[in-house]
Amino acid sequence: MNLKNKRIGILGMAKSGLAAAKKIQELGGIPFLSELKTEENINDSLFIKKRFECEFEGHTEKLFNSDLIIVSPGIPLNIPILQKAKAKKNKLISEIEFGYLLKHPASKIIAVTGSNGKSTTVSLIHHILQTAGYKSILAGNIGNALTSFPIDEKGIDFIVLELSSFQLDLIDTFKADVGVILNITPDHLNRYSSFDDYANSKMNIFQNQTENDLAIINLDDNTLLKFHHKISSIKKSFSLKSKADVYFDGNFIIHQKDKFSLTDTKLFGPHNIANIMASILAVSYLGINSEIIRKALKTFSPLPHRLEFITQINSVKFFNDSKATNTDSVKFALKSFAKPVRIIMGGSDKEEDYSVLNPLLKKHAKKIYLIGETANKMKEIFISAADISTFTDLKKCIFTAFSEAEKDDIILLSPGCASFDMFNNFEERGYTFKKIVTELKNEN
């Protein structure tokens, strides 16, 4: 893609927008950045103003003077400026599509999406590829913008991408050599007109695949079974419940003649077995043998904020599952423990049906501690599931849970909600939880 003297509009000044702007400038193009926030609310706004043409506090029609407009994933596609851009026939793409247009043809793409498990799966795939000696980069929704890497140059064997539905909404020519959908469950319903609309966005990951590419799906996911007829590439599946290309027999993960023991990994819980199975399918297709996979499974460290064991105070164990931002994540967390837990829930409302958690909470929750914007709403919904207390402060919530805990109890942060009512992101929420627990430990 020749960017020489091309004017490229960019909506949003977060990581992906800035990475795209730098890449455009590096390749001789002229980026124009447009941001809704004030200068004061943008990191490095002085640097941005010095280096790029830009505007703050609103999007103006200057954007329309662009050969192309890159839309950051956090920006809804129904905002007025984008509706006008569509009417004026401006081409709108995601930063992922833009990166794909620039990438060196020798680099293969492994792309993973799903409502839950994406970050663990892409990190594991990336780790296996590196263990096998390949030059692999990890990018996308996991935090590193695709265009922040030298993707236009030769030398990168594999690009492993974590993709959200938002990033898949604006792809055109993007093609994954290996595409993976881990699951599709209700999430981000405040952004999509219907669940099917959200599911179709996820299915875009298989768009443009040829008969030589691989599509990996979860055989246990009813939504995927409903939509998988749209796949035209090689199709492989994994399952926890029945025989598939990779399946779990109750003791081992089975792939062809190979068996993988769960004692080989620090990952635990049925959801992580599914993540491992998807990873095995992806890397096996790329020619990685079972011995390399076993070695990588043994050396892979679980990601923070995902059922992360923090510490034990006296006999009480603390787990940080701040990444659990939807009801399905909470289900996975509750099923991962052999005994009922003291669960901390609540946060920013994503308009999910929280009542689906009632049967599991009745069985797996010793007590529910609620925080944040959804606390009162959840209290009404969970009232018959378990004993409930509500809090406006996370520290008081944690200290109370510990004071009420009995011998060998588990205190689990698994919010089931976004974090934006009290924190900047789920990471900040998780780090705050860990900091408070450390403070509690120092006092005991």
In the chain, the amino acid numbered 24 is: I
In the chain, the amino acid numbered 6 is: K
CA dihedral 44, 49, 52, 53 (to 10 degrees): 140
Give the model's confidence band at 43: pLDDT under 50 very low, under 70 low, under 90 confident, else very high. confident
pLDDT at 420 over 80: yes
Q: In this structure, which topology does domain 97-299 adopt according to CATH?
A: UDP-N-acetylmuramoyl-L-alanine:D-glutamate ligase (3.40.1190)
Residue 391, strand partner residues: 371
pLDDT tens digits for 282-335? 999 999 999 999 999 999 999 999 999 999 999 999 999 999 999 999 999 999
Backbone angles phi, psi at 53, to 5 degrees: -75, 130
Give the model's confidence band at 190: pLDDT under 50 very low, under 70 low, under 90 confident, else very high. confident
pLDDT at 143 over 90: no
Average pLDDT of the chain to the nearest whole number: 96
Superfamily of domain covering 7-90: NAD(P)-binding Rossmann-like Domain (3.40.50.720)
String of DSSP letters for 15-44: HHHHHHHHHHHHTT-EEEEE-SS-GGGSTT
Check residues 2 and 190 and name the one with the higher pLDDT. 2
Question: Which H or E run includes 179?
Answer: strand 178-181
* Per-residue CA distances from 209 to 200, 213, 251, 405 (Å): 15, 6, 34, 52
Give the model's confidence band at 268: pLDDT under 50 very low, under 70 low, under 90 confident, else very high. confident
**Tokens in use for 180?**
């993976």
d(CA 381, CA 387): 12
Tell me whether residue 5 is exposed, middle or buried, using C-beta atoms within 10 angstroms of its C-beta: 0 to 12, 13 to 18, 19 or more. Answer: exposed
d(CA 186, CA 69): 29
pLDDT tens digits for 85-140? 999 999 999 999 999 999 999 999 999 999 999 999 999 999 999 999 999 999 99
Nearest-CA neighbor of 122 among 135, 134, 112?
112
pLDDT recorded at residue 339 = 95
* Per-residue CA distances from 102 to 59, 123, 137, 172 (Å): 26, 23, 15, 14
Mean pLDDT of 60-81: 94
The class of domain 308-443 in CATH terms is alpha beta
Nearest-CA neighbor of 415 among 338, 321, 342?
321
pLDDT recorded at residue 188 = 66
pLDDT at 187 over 80: no
pLDDT recorded at residue 135 = 99
d(CA 256, CA 276): 15
Nearest-CA neighbor of 378 among 390, 364, 367, 366?
390
Mean pLDDT of 4-25: 97
d(CA 100, CA 151): 9
pLDDT recorded at residue 7 = 98
pLDDT recorded at residue 13 = 96
Handedness of CA 394, 397, 402, 403 (dihedral sign): positive
Domain ranges of the chain: 7-90, 97-299, 308-443
